[in-house]
């Protein structure tokens, strides 16, 4: 199954993607995680992406389209994949179409702006890609990654002002792709619940898995 996860920053897409990925044994592809890894590694792509991410702006389409094109060609994508954070603009969605990629379902994880702002302050991430929340998804030991034991940190772009920027960007540039996929009959909505497990239950139900 080829799945797109759509939703505002901090809606919990990564967490739900992880569950679906386990259940279907297909990889999650997060453009955000790939870009953050490139910034950390100091590659040319990372260097050019950094200033956009810090402002809460989108990285240019041609950069992320290139990332996705390369990634989808890898062997582990043969039986399906979950896209988390791509496409984020109409040109990105069109580029995916042009690559000949067949999408089975686009799942929108709906969370209100107010809820997002209050959630983001508790988010903690690990360099390995794992993500936690001090209230909703706390690691077993405070500030330590369950998966790899490294110290957790707060993403720079989770600062309150940047979060507001990212929400504006989401409404202006990403939400229009809902119509794009709705007209293809692919869009399904899950309402984010207070408890992660409840959202997961709804997600799996909607995907019929």
31 contact, one of ligand ADP, Zn ion, none, CB 5-8 Å limit per kind: ligand ADP
> Least distance in Å: CB of 19 to ligand ADP?
16
Among 20, 166, 181, 187, binds ligand ADP (CB under 6 A): 166
Helix (H, G, I), strand (E, B) or coil at 62: helix
CA quadruple 171, 88, 126, 20: dihedral sign: positive
9-38 binders of ligand ADP (CB under 6 A): 9-10, 13, 30-32, 35
Among 23, 148, 161, 191, binds Zn ion (CB under 5 A): 148
Angle subtended at Cα 88 by Cα 23 and Cα 176, rounded to the nearest 5 degrees: 110
Q: Does 59 bind ligand ADP (CB under 6 A)?
A: yes
128-147 binders of Zn ion (CB under 5 A): 128, 130, 145, 147
Among 20, 58, 130, 177, binds ligand ADP (CB under 6 A): 58
- Paired tokens of 149: 């034991």
* Exposure class string for 5-42: b at 16+ Cβ within 10 A, else e: bbbbbbbbbbbbbbbbbeebebbbbbbbbbbbebbeee
The answer to whether the CB of 176 falls within 8 A of the CB of 90 is yes
Q: Which is nearer to ligand ADP, 39 or 186 (CB)?
A: 39
How many CB atoms are located within 10 Å of the residue 96 CB? 22
85 contact, one of ligand ADP, Zn ion, none, CB 5-8 Å limit per kind: ligand ADP
Q: Which is nearer to ligand ADP, 56 or 207 (CB)?
A: 56
Helix (H, G, I), strand (E, B) or coil at 43: coil
Catalytic residue numbers, as ranges = 13, 88, 123, 155, 166
Given the rule CB under 5 A, which residues bind Zn ion? Answer: 126, 128, 130, 145, 147-148, 150
């Amino acid at each position: 199954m080829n799945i797109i996860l759509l939703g505002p920053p901090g809606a919990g897409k990564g967490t739900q993607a992880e569950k679906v990925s386990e259940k279907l044994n297909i990889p999650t592809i997060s453009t955000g995680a790939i870009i953050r890894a490139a910034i950390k590694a100091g590659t040319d792509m990372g260097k050019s992406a950094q200033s956009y991410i810090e402002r809460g702006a989108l990285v240019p389409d041609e950069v992320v389209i290139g990332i996705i094109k390369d990634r989808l060609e890898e062997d582990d994508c043969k039986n399906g994949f979950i896209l988390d954070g791509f496409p984020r603009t109409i040109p990105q969605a069109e580029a995916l179409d042009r690559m000949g990629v067949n999408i089975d379902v686009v799942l929108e994880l709906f969370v209100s702006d107010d809820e997002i702002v209050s959630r983001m302050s508790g988010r903690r991430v690990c360099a390995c890609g794992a993500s936690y929340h001090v209230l909703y998804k706390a690691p077993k030991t405070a500030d330590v990654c369950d998966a790899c034991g490294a110290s957790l940190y707060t993403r720079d772009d989770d600062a309150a002002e940047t979060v507001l920027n990212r929400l504006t960007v989401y409404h202006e540039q990403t939400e229009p792709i809902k119509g794009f996929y709705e007209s293809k009959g692919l869009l399904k909505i899950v309402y984010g619940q207070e408890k992660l497990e409840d959202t997961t239950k709804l997600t799996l139900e909607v995907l019929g898995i």
